[in-house]
Amino acid sequence: MIRNGHETAGGAERPGPGGRRPVRVWCDGCYDMVHYGHSNQLRQARAMGDHLIVGVHTDEEISKHKGPPVFTQEERYRMVQAIKWVDEVVPAAPYVTTLETLDKYGCDFCVHGNDITLTVDGRDTYEEVKQAGRYRECKRTQGVSTTDLVGRMLLVTKAHHSSQEMPSEYREYADSFGKGPGGRNPWTGVSQFLQTSQKIIQFASGKEPQPGETVVYVAGAFDLFHIGHVDFLEKVHGLAERPYVIAGLHFDQEVNRYKGKNYPIMNLHERTLSVLACRYVSEVVIGAPYSVTAELLDHFKEPKRRGIFCQISSGNDLTTDLIVQRIIKNRLEYEARNQKKEAKELAFLEAMRQQEVRPEGESDCDF
């Protein structure tokens, strides 16, 4: 078990309001290609209790039930650990959530988005906890999914840089990649992300630098926010005893100028939420200049005439380019994975519809 923030200095849990026993919440999942949709789910889950424990499935379990993951289990453990609303991470969590698992970690209930997760044989992975009344649901974040991100990487299009209508080739891809032979699935597929000020407020800490804190500024694209970024920001965070890390995010046009092709894969608004969810970041500059100017430093009350620039190695070779290469190399496997997932979910939906329209008193039993 990997322990994270939100805990007292001694490592003990904080009591709940009024000194009551803290409410422990369980979430689990693949958390492959961790994005702000995952972070938003965990934010909502954390708000339902006092202590959030997140179980992450192994590569073997994901391959069995869904298909090959993009990231290794060790990378996925670290990514979830870096999300600021997570208190503990449980590696190698079982794919099917049971009452035994909730009891083992002292959790009152589990939380999942309002979509469906199925086993390889088409069973709801939360069936047991739902029947026991220890299941809560949160809203799924519209406009982002692993399916959509993979689609952006495979097609050299810049449609995701704006809110304009998707071009025909991307729409065609979205329809085929997120739609099985049986029709449209409401959970898998591509939808449009719309940024709102409320979403930024939900993700932002809202805290100003305090006396005695060291303000550290970093800047970059932070595209497809990944473990390389996390390792870098963790080292930056460790530069001071009381750090206040400000991350500057370049405009989409600026990133495209120095990266080319269809970069950035995530637009500025999406990258903002991804970085704000990281526990090592205190504030984000949306649309930071490529060059650090005196005016920018003045804005954050930083001294101008001393050596304040240093280079930090993340110690991790992973880059956004390497992630794209992984996807392209295994394109057919990922397409097959999503179509397999789509088919299972559509079959499950159809079974639910059949249950709803079945005449009262009729059953599946043959007597």
Q: Where are the domains of the chain?
A: 24-138, 145-193+335-353, 197-318
Q: Provide the token pair at 259.
A: 């990266």
Point out which residues pair with 89 in neighbouring strands: 2, 54
Q: Provide the token pair at 358.
A: 């079945």
pLDDT of residue 19: 75
C-beta separation of 156 from 260 below 8 A: no
CA angle 98, 122, 148 (to 5 degrees): 100
DSSP string computed for 304-345: SSS--------S----HHHHHHHHHHTHHHHHHHHHHHHHHH
pLDDT of residue 204: 92
> What are the counts of helices (DSSP H) followed by strands (DSSP E) for the chain?
14, 11
- Fold matches, 24-138 and 197-318: yes
Torsion of CA 111, 117, 121, 127, to 10 degrees: 30
Question: How do residues 292-322 score in pLDDT, each as one tens digit?
Answer: 776 766 665 543 444 555 667 778 888 888 9
Sequence-ordered list of residues with C-beta below 8 angstroms from that of 214, at least 6 positions apart, any chain: 239, 240, 241, 242, 243, 244
Spell out, as residue ranges, where the chain has pLDDT lower than 70: 1-14, 118, 156-195, 294, 296-311, 334, 337-338, 340-342, 344-345, 348, 352, 357-367
Point out which residues pair with 220 in neighbouring strands: 249
Q: What kind of fold does domain 24-138 have according to CATH?
A: Rossmann fold (3.40.50)
The pTM of the full predicted model, rounded to 2 decimals, is 0.76
Q: Provide the token pair at 80.
A: 């979830």
Asked: is 197-318 a CATH 3.40.50.620 domain? The reply is: yes
Question: How do residues 229-281 score in pLDDT, each as one tens digit?
Answer: 999 999 999 999 999 999 999 999 999 999 988 899 999 999 999 999 999 99
